[in-house]
């Protein structure tokens, strides 16, 4: 079965510095992978998705993620953090079982002025 592990529960960066949110997955087949963002008191918004096309996926708000099969990773990056990026980020994968999606536990991103 698929599992998704977000390696950091909290990441803090200064405004204008790069963002790296780490996600590893385990799967016996080629998965579909997603990153969602949740701002305080809001629903989850899709940032980007990987579905076995290009390994480097560009999303909204300047975020991108690279699927690395050899490392079983799907890390989320952004060159320069903005204050508005402060939120909870979820790495999500598909599952061959009955549950359509498997959610990571989330990484809270803080951006310091």
The binding site for another protein (CB under 8 A) comprises 32, 34, 36, 41-46, 49, 51, 90, 94, 98-101, 103, 105-106
Six-digit token pair at 82? 């903005």
Pairing of strands 73-78, 19-21: antiparallel
Q: How far is the CB of 36 from another protein (least distance, A)?
A: 8
The answer to whether residues 3 and 63 touch, using CB atoms and an 8 Å cutoff, is: no
Closest to another protein by CB, 22 vs 49, is: 49
Q: How far is the CB of 80 from another protein (least distance, A)?
A: 27
What gap in Å lies between CA 68 and CA 86, rounded to an integer? 26
Q: How far is the CB of 112 from another protein (least distance, A)?
A: 23
């Amino acid at each position: 079965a698929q599992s998704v592990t977000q390696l950091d529960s909290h990441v803090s960066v200064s405004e204008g510095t790069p963002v790296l949110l780490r996600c590893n997955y385990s799967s016996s087949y080629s998965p579909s992978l997603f990153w969602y963002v949740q701002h305080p008191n809001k629903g989850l918004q899709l940032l980007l998705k990987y579905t076995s096309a290009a390994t480097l996926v560009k999303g909204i708000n300047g975020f991108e993620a690279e699927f690395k099969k050899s490392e079983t990773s799907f890390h989320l990056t952004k060159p320069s953090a903005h204050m508005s990026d402060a939120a909870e980020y979820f790495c999500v994968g598909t599952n061959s079982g009955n549950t359509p999606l498997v959610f990571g536990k989330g990484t809270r991103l803080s951006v310091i002025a």
